[in-house]
Amino acid sequence: MEVTLLGTGDTTGTPTIACDCDTCERARDPDAALRERLADRGVDATDGVERSRFSVYVTNDTTGESLLVDVSPDFRHQFLRAGVPLPDAAVVTHVHFDHLDGLGNAYRLFDDLPVHAADETDPVTGESVAEAIGSRYDYLDTVSVHPHTPSEPFEVAGFEVTLVPVTHPPLLCYGLRIEEPDSGAVLAMSGDTCYEVPDRSREALSGADLALVEGLVHAEACEFHPKGGAHHDDEGVPRTFGTKHMTLSGARDFAADIEAADYRIVHTAHFVPADRAFDDDIAVDGERFSL
């Protein structure tokens, strides 16, 4: 399994438009030491380093097929930059803008793009993720929606894929377990979530070769959230920022909880201070992994 991180940022991305914070400035113009560290991670940061809106591209070593996880508003830029072929299918974790609104790019690029998503009705919206995609993109003949029951594996692009319920109030959201049957390689993704995830879902995400775990901000940022932080560790450090995202500490604890052989933190915002925002375990666009 080959994993390419197309987009590793939150909903505004890094750098954020019109932001001159130290983290955005450092992303636009990385110093030599940071460029060197990123080169060691396989990322060319000559023209800056980026965390565009979330998307991950997964290739099946056996069948050559590829699966796109979430369809970023930065779709066009991401595919041109990464130089990967268009995917054979997509999975969408939830209906937030940064994970779905690139789907309009399917126009003229695809003859058919099967989009897989959960069939569970969200009590807040009255529709499932699959139904929401179907109604928002009903004008695109190239998009076909395939609903699936959460926690039940299905096959797509030669992978065994499971939508794993996580906690991202007020919307339903899903993490993913993606297994390549021939090699047994497993990629786990937390999706957008707070730290408190059902035990059954933690089990489904456990033991992966690589886990991509959401971590939005540093724990100290909780004091600026109107709801503060939640799910504190033994030292009183919040693992949830507000109600729907993890802190960096929460993400690190979550990766340890699910016993991933390796992990990267994804969906990180520009609010993380510049001297910590590019730590080696926080993903940047363009990183690739072979599992």
Report the DSSP beta bridge partners of residue 229. 241
Q: Residue 68 or 291: which CB sits closer to Zn ion?
A: 68
Binding residue (CB under 5 A) for Zn ion from 8, 73, 89, 96: 96
At its nearest, how many Å lie between Zn ion and the CB of residue 198? 18
Closest C-alpha to 266, from 224, 229, 228, 211: 211
Site for Zn ion in 269-288 (CB under 5 A): 270
258 lies in the site for Zn ion, by CB under 5 A? no
74 lies in the site for Zn ion, by CB under 5 A? no
Q: Which two tokens stand for residue 233?
A: 């560790």
Binding residue (CB under 5 A) for Zn ion from 4, 8, 16, 66: 16
Of 95-103, 106-114, 151-159, 258-266, which part binds Zn ion (CB under 5 A)?
95-103
At its nearest, how many Å lie between Zn ion and the CB of residue 88? 24
How far does the chain reach from its first CA to its final CA, in angstroms?
5
Q: Residue 98 or 122: which CB sits closer to Zn ion?
A: 98
Site string for Zn ion, 180-219 (x = CB under 5 A): ------------x---------------------------
Q: Residue 18 or 234: which CB sits closer to Zn ion?
A: 18
- What is the Cα Rg of the chain in Å? 18
Cite the beta strand spans of 77-134 per DSSP E. 89-91, 113-118
Beta-carbon contacts of residue 230 (< 8 Å; ≥ 6 apart):
194, 195, 196, 238, 239, 240, 242, 243
Length of the chain: 291
Q: Which two tokens stand for residue 137?
A: 């993109």
83 φ/ψ angles, rounded to the nearest 5 degrees: 65, 30
Q: Residue 124 or 261: which CB sits closer to Zn ion?
A: 124
Q: Which two tokens stand for residue 257?
A: 């909880």
21 lies in the site for Zn ion, by CB under 5 A? yes
CB 201 within 8 A of CB 253: no
245 lies in the site for Zn ion, by CB under 5 A? no
At its nearest, how many Å lie between Zn ion and the CB of residue 65? 26
Binding site for Zn ion (CB under 5 A): 16, 19, 21, 24, 96, 98, 192, 270
